[in-house]
Amino acid sequence: MPIEILMPALSPTMSEGNLARWLKKEGDPVKSGDVLAEIETDKATMEFEATDEGTLGKILVPGGAQGVKVNQPIALLLEEGEDAQALSKAMAKPAPAAAPAAAVSPSGTGVPAGVAAITGRDAGATKEMEASRGDRLFASPLARRVAKEAGLDLAGVTGSGPHGRIVRGDVEQALAAGKAVAAPAPAAPRPATPAVPPEFGPAFTEQPLSSMRKVIARRLTEAKQTVPHFYLTVDCLLDQLLALRSELNARSDAYKLSVNDFVIRAVALGLKKVPAANASFTETAIRLYSDIDISVAVATPNGLITPVLRHADRKGLAEISNEMKTLAAKARDGKLKPEEYQGGGFSISNLGMFGVKQFEAIINPPQGAILAVGAGEQRPVVKDGALAIATVMSCTLSVDHRVVDGAIGAEFLAAFKGLIEQPLTMLL
C-alpha cells in the first residue's frame, strides 16, 4: 500500500499549520531528505523533508491550504514497484467511521472529528474564507511577505489556491511575467470593511488570529491562571555601564554593544552564581538546569517570539551582541529553526527602548522566571548622604513561587545588580 505522508508537528505547540506550497508535483521521484513542501507553523515558515523514498503519487491537500491538522494525510507516496492501481486502491479505501454527532475535533473548533482529510479544510479555513469576503485580499502570509519584498501589488495577482487564495507560487509567476509594480504606500492600506457596531458601541474591524497569536493567547492565559507569580524589583545604576559601553564600541567596528547585551551577560553570570534560579517546575520534581540557555523576547509583525541564546555564560559581550542581532533578524523574517526558539531556562523581556520605566512580564512556561527590563533614565539618588543625579534602570523579576522562593529570587537580583553596576566584573 502507498505510504501516507502526514502533516508534521514542526514545533511543540503546533496543532495545525498552513501548507504554503508543494515543492514536488505528482509523479516526481522522492528521495529521503528531499524537501517536499513549505509549511507555515505558529512560529515560522519551514521546509518539510521526506523520510521515505518513492514517487509522489497523489497530493491530498493542495498548496495554500489553511488550518491543516497535525497527522492529517496530505499526500500518498508510491513505493518501488507500485503503480496507479495501488494508488486507486488506497484512494478507494473506506473512510474511518464517522464520529457521533456530538463529537468534535480536539481543537474545539466544532468540526466533527471524522471529517475527511482529503479536503484539506477545517473550521479555521472556513472562517478565514468567510472573513476574506468583500474587498480584502485572500493571500497566504508567505505570499504577502514575498510580494512586499519584491514590491508587487497583490491586487493584480490571480490566486490559484483554494477559493482563489493567492499563494507563493502565484506571486513568483507574476514576478516572472514582469508584473512587479510598486505596491501601494503603507500609509494608505486597503481598509477592511467596517463591521456594524452593536447598539451604543463604536465601529470596529476584525483581524483574524494568526497561528502564532492563537498560541500566545493560549499559553499566556494558562501561565497567569496556573502559575503563582510574585514580583521583585531592583533599581540599577547605569552610569559606569554606559561609560564602558561607549569605550568598548569606540575600540572596534566588529561589534556594536547595546545595553541589552550587558543585561544578557549579567543574567547569565547571575544564574551561574545562583543556579537555584535557573529552574522549572514539573509535577514530580523541580528541574535544575546545568546549561544556561536564555530566551530573549523579540517583537515580530505576527507576535512575540523568544529565540534562545545557548550557553550564554560562556560567551563574551561581542559574541552575545552579534548572535542576538542574527537571531532577532531571523525571528522578524520568520526564519528561525526549531532549535533556535525551543527550550531555554530563563527569559528576558526588554521594553526600555520604548521608554517604558517599569513593567511586570508574564512567565513563559515551563520556565521559572522572567526578567522585565525598563528604560535607563536620569533620576535623583542619594550618594554618600548627598543628593545626586544618576542614570537608573528598574528591573522586575517575575517568579514562579512553586520553583523559586523569595530569598532565592532576591539573591539572584542582588548578583545581577552587582554585575550591572560594576560592569568590569563581566569582562573577567
Residues designated catalytic: 401
Q: Are strands 45-49 and 35-40 parallel, antiparallel or unpaired?
A: antiparallel
Interaxial angle between packed helices 406-421 and 239-251, expressed in degrees from 0 to 180 and rounded to the nearest 10: 50
181-187 contact pairs (CB < 8 A, 24+): 181/151, 181/152, 181/153, 181/156, 182/151, 182/153, 183/147, 183/148, 183/151, 183/152, 183/153, 183/154, 184/153
User: Omega before 366 cis (within 30°)?
Assistant: yes
Torsion angle in degrees (nearest 10) through CA of 122, 126, 131, 132: 110
Q: CA of 51: how far to CAs of 32, 74, 86, 420, in Å?
A: 5, 14, 20, 49
Instruction: Report the C-alpha gap between 203 and 190 in whole angstroms.
Output: 17
Looking at residue 31, its amino acid is: K
Place of cell 523514498: 53
Place of cell 491543516: 68
CB distance 398 to 362 below 8 Å: yes
CB distance 398 to 406 below 8 Å: no
Residues 6 or more apart whose Cβ sits within 8 Å of residue 212: 42, 43, 300, 302, 303, 305
CB distance 366 to 281 below 8 Å: yes
